[in-house]
Structure 1
Amino acid sequence: MKVVVLAGGVGGSKFTLGVREALGPEDEATVVVNTGDDLWLSGVRLQPDVDSIVYALAGVNDAHRGWGRAGDSERVNEELQAWGAGWPWFTLGDLDLGTHLARTGWLRDGLTPTQVLARMQERWPLGVRLLPMTDAEVDTNIVLGDGSRMHFQEWWTRHRAALAPAAFENPGMAAAVPAPGVVEAIADADVVLLAPSNPVVSIGPILAVPGMREALRQTSAKVVGVSGIIGGRVVRGMADVCLTAIGVETRADAVAAHYGARSADGILDAWLVAEEDAFLVPAVEALGIRAVVAPLWMTEAAASAEIVRAALAA
């Protein structure tokens, strides 16, 4: 079986671990990772979602904090702050900074983000193939009510999404194309899975890459999404703020409607809802999307793997 996963953030990394555990040695998994929250900081290129998934698959992530490397130190970050460089509220761990320096050096040498990510995967046996959604720089900006803009990471990390967003922008997206291998992987897949990542700032940028929605609509694979909303609440992060900003209720059926049915110019064939949201099955199926009820709490890798199995069965 060939499986393609669209993922980003901590939810995406947990789900990807479940994909690896659920599939057998004869199966193939390709994970298309959100790069919309990438940024340049202190002269180095950061790819937070890419690194979260790489570190999780390698078993070196800081599961307690939810980001960065386990057992990391912050001496370089402290020195940067002493020089008044970087963002004092955005911590770069020393081991994590090593990743950013290596990436930046390879980019300066002329490698593409796809080639850089392929090189990163040579260090650890990750068990899946990772591809960026695009090689273009399409960082996410938040537009506030007064028309001012700030990078997504400042809004998310510094302000904890407390500033009401008016819109989300990805400068350069109109000229972007899917990274090499992405469209081909989707076309050749047996199943495409949408991880329970933030629908707006994790999955949203992936779907916004020109040609991505068309690839999902045209593939012979079934496209199955997993709700990151359980009981009308987000599992982690501030996805509810993002959803409210684009006029979508924080409900599993509302997010399914946001993605839409493939039979009605959307992208979904099936949608997994939590047991707590079983009463929403009729509303989801009224959209032309098959609804499947399953336990959706990703408490550990085994639980995530059961969610993946339910999605594959759908």
Structure 2
Amino acid sequence: PDLDSVTYTLAGMGDLERGWGLRGESWTALGQLGRLGAETWFQLGDLDLATHILRTERLHCGRPLSEVTRDLAERLRLPIRLLPMTDQAVTTRVHTRDGRDLHLQEYLVRESCRPEIASLEFRGAECAQPGPGVMDAIRDADLVLLAPSNPIISIGPILAVPGIRAQVAAAAQVAAVSPIVSGRAVKGPAVAMLAALGLPASPAGVAACYRDLIQLLVIDELDR
């Protein structure tokens, strides 16, 4: 799941109606960018932009993502320890059937999930290493719970980092919550992405993504 969405939600600042970003947003900076000729399809509000400016500045100064994330979590007084999957860059790319190579946000936001998916790539994952504390946290957990996020583009990149999938598989107990209810995704393009992998848009398709990992899959009453 998205680091910022998790951070904002746990800090009690997230916009739950919109499903992303911060409550009480304004869009002055984005409006000015549009007036200056910039593309504005990626909607970042003024409050959200502050997070991105600060994080980008610190990353450019050589600080690792895990350290920057820890600092932001402390500033916002999160009640938990938030660990990025890796300190290396991993980018989700969507290869479409019409031959385009799109960044995930281009596919989700600019293209509104319209292009038919040929394949997905987690570029850089094969060279990445688990972030500080990630493997220990999985190993020491009484229960590893895979949230009802998209199993392909939210949980998938995490499991693609070498070592993490095996560590989850070796955990004492692993459960997942299905993001598919009665053939529809709770949020986002999970149905289309399951179909692109030849999997059914159902809890069975979710279970197939996690077939070597979980002992329990939590499903909705409608899917019993």
Q: Secondary structure at the match of 1:118?
A: helix
Displacement of 1:82: 1.8
Q: Which has the higher contact order (CA 8 A, sep 6+)?
A: 1
| Corresponding residue of 2:208 | 257
Q: Secondary structure at the match of 2:74?
A: coil
**Mapping of residues 1-314 of structure 1, within 5 Å:** 8=1, 49-85=2-38, 87-219=39-171, 221-260=172-211, 266-278=212-224
Query: What is the TM-score with the length of structure 1 in the denominator?
Result: 0.69
Percent identical pairs in the alignment equals: 45
- 1:149-197 deviation line (CA, Å, top 9, x unaligned): 0111011011211100101112111101111100011111110000000
What is the alpha-carbon root mean square deviation over aligned residues? 1.1
Cα pair 2:143 2:173 within 8 Å, conserved: yes
Q: Secondary structure at the match of 2:139?
A: helix
Query: What is the TM-score with the length of structure 2 in the denominator?
Result: 0.96
Distance of 2:67 and 2:204 partners within structure 1: 38
Displacement of 1:50: 0.9
Moved over 3 A (4+): none
- 1:278-297 deviation line (CA, Å, top 9, x unaligned): 1xxxxxxxxxxxxxxxxxxx
Displacement of 1:254: 2.2
In structure 1, give the amino acid aligned to 2:44. Answer: L
Unaligned runs of 5+ in 2: none
Number of equivalences:
224
- 1:181-214 deviation line (CA, Å, top 9, x unaligned): 0001111111000000001100111111111111
Give the number of the structure whose residues are more often strand, by fraction. Answer: 1
Distance of 1:67 and 1:100 partners within structure 2: 14
